[in-house]
Amino acid sequence: MSDNVTLARESDPAVPPYDYNPSAWSQRIPICLVAFVAAGISVHLSLYQWGLIDSVFDPVFGDGSAKVLKSDTAKTMYSILGIHDASLGVLAYLGDAILGFAGSTRRWQYRPWLVILFGIDVIPLGIVSVVLVLCQAFVVGSWCFLCLVTASLSLLLVYWAWDEVRVSLTYLKIVWTEHQDKGLLWQAFWGLQNEQLDAAAEKLLSREVK
State pTM to two decimals. 0.87
Least confidently predicted of 2-11, 46-55, 60-69, 142-151: 2-11
Q: What is residue 147's predicted lDDT score, i.e. its pLDDT?
A: 92
Least confidently predicted of 11-15, 55-59, 85-89, 94-98: 11-15
Question: What's the whole-number mean pLDDT along residues 44-64?
Answer: 93
Contact 106, 23 (CB under 8 A): yes
pLDDT, averaged across the chain: 90
pLDDT over 80 (residue 34)? yes
Contact 97, 35 (CB under 8 A): yes
pLDDT band, very low/low/confident/very high, at 210 (cuts 50, 70, 90): low
Class of the CATH domain delimited by 20-161: mainly alpha
- What residues does each domain of the chain span? 20-161
pLDDT above 70 covers a percentage of the chain that reads 94
Q: What is residue 130's predicted lDDT score, i.e. its pLDDT?
A: 86
pLDDT over 90 (residue 32)? yes
Question: For the purposes of burial, counting CB atoms within 10 Å of the CB of 117, is it exposed (0-12), middle (13-18) or buried (19 or more)?
Answer: middle
Question: What's the whole-number mean pLDDT along residues 160-187?
Answer: 95
Choose between 7 and 25: higher pLDDT.
25
Q: What is residue 29's predicted lDDT score, i.e. its pLDDT?
A: 96
Question: What's the whole-number mean pLDDT along residues 144-169?
Answer: 94
Question: What's the whole-number mean pLDDT along residues 67-82?
Answer: 90
Please write the tens of the pLDDT for every residue from 111-152.
999 999 999 999 888 888 888 888 888 888 889 999 999 999
pLDDT over 60 (residue 78)? yes
Q: What is residue 136's predicted lDDT score, i.e. its pLDDT?
A: 86
